[in-house]
Structure 1
Amino acid sequence: MEVETRYEIDRTADYIYAHDFTRVALQFPDELLKDSTRVVRALRDKLRELQRYDDGEEDIVNWRKDVALYVMADTTYGSCCVDEVGAAHINAECVIHYGHACLSPTSTLPAFFVFGKASISVADTVEKICIFPLSRSKPVLVLFGLEYAHAMDAIKEALVAEALRLSDSTSKFDICCADVMCSALDPCNGQMSSNRHVGILDSLPSGRETSDTKPNTSYSIGGLTWSLPYSRRMEDYLLFWIGYDNPAFANIVLTFNGCEIVRYDPMEHCLETDVSPKTRILKRRYYLVEKAKDANIVGILVGTLGVAGYLNMIHQMKQLVSKAGKKAYTLVVGKPNPAKLANFPECDVFVYVSCAQTALLDSKEFLAPVITPFEAMLAFSRGSQWTGAYTMEFRDLIYSPSFQSQNEVDEPRFSFFQGGYVDEQDHEENGNDGAQDRALAITTDKALRIRNDPDSLAKVTPKSPPEFLATRSYQGLDINHNGAAPKPFLVGRTGRAAGYEDERNPKNENM
């Protein structure tokens, strides 16, 4: 497939030209970086062609021919999110995002998405939808990876033709297809633009009339959106996923864990009907929730600096942790890994605030568990119980009424790690006394005495962040050590590469 077609050069150039952007950041994931130079060349040629067509004269030169295109790679966080941090380094006016995307709303910059066009057999896909799901006598909801959005119109047309063929038979044909939520985001205007309407395939003749007068219920997840009749629930549908076994699919499985789900692999042309390994992840997550309840110090990991609402979520997590009588760290470490988080051994658990498709970390190799904001609310809200519902998107949890204090009840809970029931009220009071009072009691002189007296290290049981810092053998560079600032010194060489100051000039020696 040519670069112009695969990367939608015409549509991208029209977007840049229509919005008068002069500095554009092109964000590529690692697997598409090899095509970046060809994309830039084709995009620049198309922008010049649009200018010549608009002006009518090829010799007219203005700013539109000088649109600066910058290629971004090695994103700050997940490649599915718009990297506003990287784009800010070059003062970009917008970001063109290539490849798989989570379509999380941006904070400051407008973004345009090019999902790519993965190969898929429309006939085989429609055949799989009609044979297996319809044999289960359940309505079908078709979801898909965004890389297959280009083929959904053809799939819908084939499904309409199949519905017309079966309209006179006794077979039930009740199918709903999702569509892409948007193709561009503009946080300044609060707008999401899309090329087509999203919703139920109303053109499919199902052979039954509906008397529902209430509006349809809308759903959205991972950049997809759809509507269902008011009288139906998600659990009534069989979910048919078209795409890979990736974080987007995991988000679907965990969020709609009460639905029957099958996955169609367009590359292998096969159906995966057993997704139980994915659903077993919930048992692991429940174990981490119970373990987090016994935490004393909680690290809040900043996993995004661009998704709208991330600051509100961080503040909400701080308030939640403080109300539970625990101490909170706020950490910005980029993409987390076991080596980075091992620098904070005092943290008993980490809460990872990020987009839904990067939030679920396998923390088996980490020294402390890594949980999501939803799991943190379950762990740190007194009296909350897991009903089986699961939410990956933190924007759905901001000031969630289901976790308000009036719904909390004072009752003991069973701790697997303490081997008995724990009174949450006592835990909160002890936590406040242990974390906050001890932090205030530790002075600089006491910390220095602990650091300089190796024998006292064995006598101290750290319970708060200042105590952990005082007992560390290395605490970083102390510019005010012993009351004297360090003297400035030069590292490296001064001058120009043509002749540093410490080098002799051969020309001067010969004169």
Structure 2
Amino acid sequence: MDFENYYEITRVADFIHTYNFSRVALQFPDKLLKDSSRVASSLRKKIRHLLEDSNGTPEESRGAAKLYVMADTTYGSCCVDEVGAAHVKADCVIHYGHTCLSPTTTIPAFCVFGKAPIMASNCAESLCNYAAKCGKPVLVLFGLEYAHAMPDIKEALTVEAMKYRDSNSGFEIYYADVTNSIIIPSESLKMENRHLLLTDNQDNNEDFSGKTDIKFRINGLRWSLPEGYSLSDYLLFWIGSDNSAFTNFILTFHSCEIVRYDATEGYLKTDVSQQAKILKHRYFLVEKAKDANMVGILVGTLGVAGYLDMIHQMTELVTKAGKKAYTLVMGKPNPAKLANFPECDVFIYVSCAQTALLDSKEFLAPIITPFEAMIAFNRGSEWTGAYVMEFQDVIASHTVEVKKESEARFSFLQGGYVEDFDLQEGNDDKDTVLSLVNVTEKALQLRNKDTQLFSRRDAKSGAEYFAARSFQGLEIHGSDSFPEPFLIGRRGKASGYEDEQNK
């Protein structure tokens, strides 16, 4: 392995030098941590050489950026660890290994995807043999670790596809592109749908046949469809491992024909029904969550842009459904941690798309995503078959729903809620209507107080609930006031307890 090429030492050093970062955090997953010291050393040397070339004196290069190695990330290793970077007051993060490319909130990041090996010729041959039988145009997508090999794969596919040009089994091949390896902080993505972007024809360098109207983004990839085409018209060809990125891809585009080329084993897998079964299980969890009374909101990220908005939205959603909700921050969740909250009937996991799906088999209560919570707790919501993983998409859709709801007004003249009720006809009418609405709301609250039809006002918060429960854990106040369990047994050291008789 070419070490400097694999870790992109030159590109990273240029990035740090160009933007004049002074404190840089290097984030490694566990499997790459063994190379961290060597990467830091190589980067330090390269940055000093760049400073010497620009300043001309070795003395001035002593002000090179300080590098800090981060490991054991707070949450998923695919996300930029802004919490860990804040501990060393870093102004930039260099992220190595598998990444979800989720937007950050406060700090820029440069992602080094790595360079997984692949046989381009074998990949091209496998794809063309299957596409010739399928008869659909092909859209090639890939894991980010294979982005470095895409030029070779494109060249091999071009040569291989020429064999079918003159036959009836000819087909067209299109490719997705990497969005960017640099993540720019974004305070709010409420108005951006990161999966399906309905935008103008701008930045259309990747379009297929001129005019395009729909852009897609998922797993750090982007592509466009020609006008008049839908994604189901294409054969989706995924190059990569069966990992969280592929699962995200399967769930989002489960209605399309998908095949996967396993670069490690070197074969094409056409049956992805096993992954598709995940969707049925997720729908089962949604139905089970509808019966929940107490809901825990698990914080699975402290860095992905929009996570606070998502937490507030979930709290509002659960409360409006007449259920109890409280937020839990515990790092990476596991069965032992969540077992401390047996009162929770279901948990909502707010995290990036590639860590959102937790297998609930080992947990006492099911764990669902924000999108699944929207279906479970929104009155009248039905699952249409579409599936959303990015919680930024959920925020965007919720904003549209709130806007629609806010347009409805109660009309006492017409005896119900109407969509286009105009309150601007007169101030007297407006004041009268508002006062009647307020009186009616108070009457409904008093009427339902005893029947508890609307119990959310009387629902206790999570802190109040746990403060009132019988068991709150063991408390050690001092040596003279131990709880009863601590008085059971012997005192002293094993070599000679206090009550042991010397023989």
TM value normalised by structure 1: 0.77
Instruction: Measure how far apart 1:60 and its partner are.
Output: 2.9
> What amino acid sits opposite 2:35 in the alignment?
D
Instruction: Please state if 1:330 is matched with 2:327.
Output: yes
The residue correspondences of 1:76-475 to structure 2 (distance < 5 A) are 76-164=74-162, 166-187=164-185, 200=206, 214-400=211-397, 403-404=401-402, 433-434=454-455, 436-437=457-458, 439=460, 466=464, 469-474=467-472
2:427 match: none
Tell whether the 8 Å contact from 2:8 to 2:112 is kept in structure 1 after alignment: yes
Distance 1:145 1:372 in 2: 23
Asked if 2 retains the 8 angstrom alpha-carbon contact of 1:199 and 1:225, the reply is: no
Deviation of residue 377 (structure 1)?
0.2
Change over 3 Å in CA distance of 1:189–1:380 after alignment to 2 = closer
Runs of 4+ in structure 1 off by over 6 angstroms are 188-191, 426-432
| 8 Å CA contact 2:319, 2:456 repeated in 1 | no
- Cα distance in 2 for partners of 1:89, 1:296 equals 38
Measured against aligned partners, the alpha-carbon deviations of 1:450-483 in whole angstroms (never above 9, x if no partner) come to xxxxxxxxxxxxxx8745542322357699xxxx
Indicate the SS of the match to 2:174.
Answer: strand
1:261 Cα deviation from its structure 2 partner: 1.0
Offset from partner CA, 1:3-29 (integer Å, 9 cap, x none): 101100000000000000111000000
* 1:225-280 deviation per Cα after TM superposition (whole angstroms, max 9, x unaligned): 11111211111111111111100000000000101111111111111111111111
1:46 lines up with 2:46 in the alignment: yes
Mark the runs of 5 or more structure 1 residues left unpaired by the alignment. Answer: 192-196, 203-209, 409-425, 441-463, 480-511
Aligned partner of residue 252 in structure 1, secondary structure: helix
Provide the rounded CA distance (Å) in 1 between the counterparts of 2:20 and 2:349.
37
- The verdict on how the C-alpha distance between 1:433 and 1:189 changes in structure 2, with shifts beyond 3 A counting, is closer
Identity of aligned residues (%): 60
Partner Cα distance (2:317, 2:53) in 1: 58
Residue 84 of structure 1: how far off its partner (Å): 0.3
Partner Cα separation in structure 1 for residue 154 and residue 187 of structure 2? 32
Q: Distance in 1 between matches of 2:290 and 2:403?
A: 17
Tell me the CA shift for residue 388 of structure 1.
0.7
Give the aligned CA root-mean-square deviation in angstroms. Answer: 2.9
Amino acid at match of 1:261: I
Shift of 1:176: 1.4
Equivalence for 1:422:
none
Shift in Å at residue 436 of structure 1? 3.7
Contact 1:262 1:275 in 2 (8 A): yes
Equivalent residues of 2:188, 2:305 under 8 A apart: no
Shift of 1:433: 4.7
Task: Work out whether residues 325 and 430 of structure 1, in 8 Å CA contact, stay in contact via their aligned partners in 2.
Answer: no
Partner SS state of residue 219, structure 1: strand
Alignment-derived partner of residue 60 in structure 1: 59
CA distance 1:189–1:286, shift in 2 (3 Å): closer
Other structure's SS at 1:280 match: helix
Q: Structure 1 residues 434, 466: CA separation in 2 closer, same or farther (over 3 Å shift)?
A: farther
- 1:37 deviates by 1.0
- Does residue 26 in structure 1 map to residue 23 in structure 2? no
* Cα deviation digits, residues 43-68 of structure 1 (max 9, x gap): 111111112222334x333454x321
Deviations 1:141-179 (A, max 9, x none): 111110000011221233334445544444322111111
Distance 1:467 1:332, change over 3 A: closer
- Structure 2: which 5+ runs fail to align? 190-202, 407-446, 478-503
